[in-house]
Chains A and B, each alone.
Chain A
Amino acid sequence: MRTTLRILQYEWKDLLRGKWVAGYGIFFLVLTDLLLRFAGSGANVLISLTNVMLLFIPLAALIYGVLYLYQSREFVELLLAQPISRNSLYWGIYGGLSVPLTGAFLVGVALPLTWHGVWTSEALASALLVLGMGSLLTLLFIGLGFWLGFAFYEDRIKGFGFALIAWLVMAVLYDALVLLVIYVFGDYPLEKPVLAMSVLNPIDLARIVILLKFDISALMGYTGAVFSRFFGSAWGMVAALFCMGLWWSIPLWRGQRIFTKRDF
């Protein structure tokens, strides 16, 4: 534990000095501020922010997770040659990566929300939920990046390629796929298959959780509407959160298994 914290601490210090984590935070800061200035009230802003967040966070976190592993290969080897356990190192690297990235997102979004007074409005709970989902997506997709990165440690192009494909499928193509399924199998009862499909995509799950909170079924898409009807809002949210928890822990655990067993 002590070693993990040391690694985490040094790494995030190192990353904060690299300018692009700051750039990432500034991106969210400028975006949120502009939305609050020009897009009107709290709920509208939060929904627009959610849409950008659902596309951008998974991409940044995945690429960041994979790239960092490839860049720090020799450093990981040097640390593995020190008297520390592989588990400590794995969690240290994961924490050292996810803390600054999550922090940059949180600060970037929270600051404009503060100076525009959103915290005191009735949108407070929704704003907190958006921040929470953004953080969870960051943690989840860095974990997924770790899994892909360590699974294809020797073949960077493959690791990087699969990360991009994973993002493309989950963030962009998935809705089209669901629509296609609905269109082709429109004559059959589809609630359960569509429910199952949405559980297979963490980005979809995050969208459902947030939109269930806002209770705007028009924006939920088919999967969200089904989710809402199937579970009712509160249970729907719990079920979606549980599935996201699985999405967070399983890739991270697989990554850890590979890391502790592989040759360096």
Chain B
Amino acid sequence: MIRIENISKSFDRLEVLKRISLQIPRGQATGIVGPNGSGKTTLIKMILGLVKPDEGTIQVADKELNGHFEYRHLIGYMPQIARYPENMKVRELIDFIKEVRNDEAVFEQELIEEFELTRELNKPLRNLSGGYRQKVGACIAMMFDPLILILDEPTAGLDPQSSQRFKRRLEHEKDKGKTILLTSHIMSEIEELTDHLVFLLEGKIRYDGSMNDLMQDTREPHLEAAVARMMEENL
């Protein structure tokens, strides 16, 4: 679904990604993990076209990204920090994104109810707590029923109940055959939700393969221990 070939990226003199190649498989959930500054967010932003690679190519649905924007109809994106124009109401923001995208918002009502946003719809976004803003972000990312979901630390800021609901929803989307790309610092969450794992370390891919294989290879009971072990081996 997403094919990345020999991507490099530097910011000033700092090399963030070093000749990375990988494929995000169609219809599966892929988790990207790695310590802070390992290049996770940069990688996601490159797929979205927010950051342009210094070299290498990226293909989404067999089309190379080359300054195009139409392919983003296929993608729902939930950013790490959800900040919106302060005076805009939730309802207006949702309508705005609908108009800008010009896609049908298939799950709009369903998601508003599921994330308990009904009572917040007429509130300005500045009055919303971080968790609710995050839910608005989730709603915007998922309501157009996109083929690909890209979620950057989606559950940070959500209370346990909302987090659970969000994860159930994600599983549901996965069952429908969506391609999901997820970053998180919570290893148990990655373990719970994803089938495929990409472990980035200092701008390089340290592991790229199925979650099961990793657990078997490292003989660790949990992903956290397996990742910690890979980091130690790298030292």
A residues sitting closer than 8 Å to B (CB atoms) are 3, 6-7, 10-11, 13-15, 17-18, 72-75, 77-86, 261, 263-264
* Measured CA separation A159–B35 after assembly (Å): 31
Q: Which residue of A is nearest B124, CB measured?
A: A17
**Distance in Å from the Cβ of B104 to the closest Cβ of chain A?**
13
| Interface segment out of the listed B42-50, B167-175, B197-205 | B42-50
* Measured CA separation A19–B101 after assembly (Å): 29
A3-B100, A74-B83, A83-B69 are known; give 12 further A-B pairs, CB within 8 A. A14-B87, A14-B88, A17-B87, A72-B85, A78-B77, A81-B50, A82-B72, A83-B71, A83-B102, A263-B11, A263-B45, A263-B51
Among B11, B86, B88, B100, which residue has its beta carbon within 8 angstroms of that of A82? Answer: B100
**Distance in Å from the Cβ of B83 to the closest Cβ of chain A?**
4
B residues sitting closer than 8 Å to A (CB atoms) are 11, 45, 48-52, 69-73, 75, 77, 79, 81-88, 92, 96-97, 99-103, 140
Asked if residues A6 and B50 are in contact (CB atoms below 8 Å), the reply is no
Q: Which residue of B is nearest A92, CB measured?
A: B100
**Distance in Å from the Cβ of B137 to the closest Cβ of chain A?**
8
Q: Which residue of A is nearest B11, CB measured?
A: A263
Asked if residues B85 and A80 are in contact (CB atoms below 8 Å), the reply is no
Asked if residues A14 and B100 are in contact (CB atoms below 8 Å), the reply is no
Asked if residues A81 and B87 are in contact (CB atoms below 8 Å), the reply is no
**Distance in Å from the Cβ of B80 to the closest Cβ of chain A?**
9
Contacts of B49 in A (CB 8 A): 80-81
**A263 with B50, Cβ < 8 A, contacts A82-B72, A83-B72, A85-B69 known:** yes
**A6 with B85, Cβ < 8 A, contacts A74-B79, A81-B48, A83-B69 known:** no
Q: Which residue of B is nearest A78, CB measured?
A: B79
Asked if residues B83 and A10 are in contact (CB atoms below 8 Å), the reply is no
Among B52, B85, B92, which residue has its beta carbon within 8 angstroms of that of A75? Answer: B85
